């Protein structure tokens, strides 16, 4: 950065702690420039814990234009002496056409009893790409 230039903001600075931990774990395995879409399910808070799940899609080399699909889950301690400690798991779970995956994400609210489908966002919500 040259003198006088404003600092580049870190996209993760404004993220809640659980999602910031997930963003770090995803970035360690998936280049942010290859991420197509991030779907965030509403976190659940209960008895000093918070659980959250995201679905991350990545462009693949598939000639059909399929997306590689990952699930990212976290468990965060929100109270007590271990407050802020988190466990994050990231797993590649499949390959899917984008249209099919978008339909599945919309239908999850009906199947899970949630009032709303997961929030859909691009990689810029988490990364400077």
**pLDDT of amino acid 7:** 43
Give the residue from 108, 109, 126, 120 showing the smallest Cα distance to 33. 126
Give the model's pLDDT for residue 114: 75
pLDDT digits 0-9 by tens, 13-60:
578 999 999 999 999 999 999 999 999 999 999 999 999 999 999 999
- Cα 79 from Cα 43, distance rounded (Å): 16
Other beta carbons within 10 angstroms of residue 64's beta carbon come to: 7
Say what the pLDDT of residue 13 is.
57
Is a pLDDT exceeding 70 seen at residue 67?
yes
**Element containing residue 17 per DSSP (H, E):** helix 17-29
Query: Domain boundaries in the chain?
Result: 13-121
How would DSSP label each residue in 48-96?
Answer: TEEEEEEEEEEE-S-TT--EEEEEEEEEEE-SSTTTT-EEEEEEEEEEE
HSE-up (13 A, CA, CB side) for residue 61: 0
SS3 119: strand
């Amino acid at each position: 950065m040259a003198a006088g230039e404003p600092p580049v903001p870190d996209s993760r600075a404004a993220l809640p702690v659980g999602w910031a931990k997930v963003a770090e774990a995803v970035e360690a395995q998936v280049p942010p420039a290859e991420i197509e879409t991030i779907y965030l399910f509403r976190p659940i808070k209960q008895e000093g814990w918070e659980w959250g799940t995201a679905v991350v899609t990545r462009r693949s080399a598939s000639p059909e234009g399929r997306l590689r699909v990952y699930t990212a889950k976290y468990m965060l301690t929100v109270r007590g002496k271990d407050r802020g400690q988190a466990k994050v798991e990231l797993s590649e779970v499949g390959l899917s056409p984008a249209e099919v995956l978008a339909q599945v994400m919309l239908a999850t609210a009906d199947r899970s009893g949630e009032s709303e489908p997961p929030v859909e966002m691009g990689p810029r919500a988490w990364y400077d790409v």
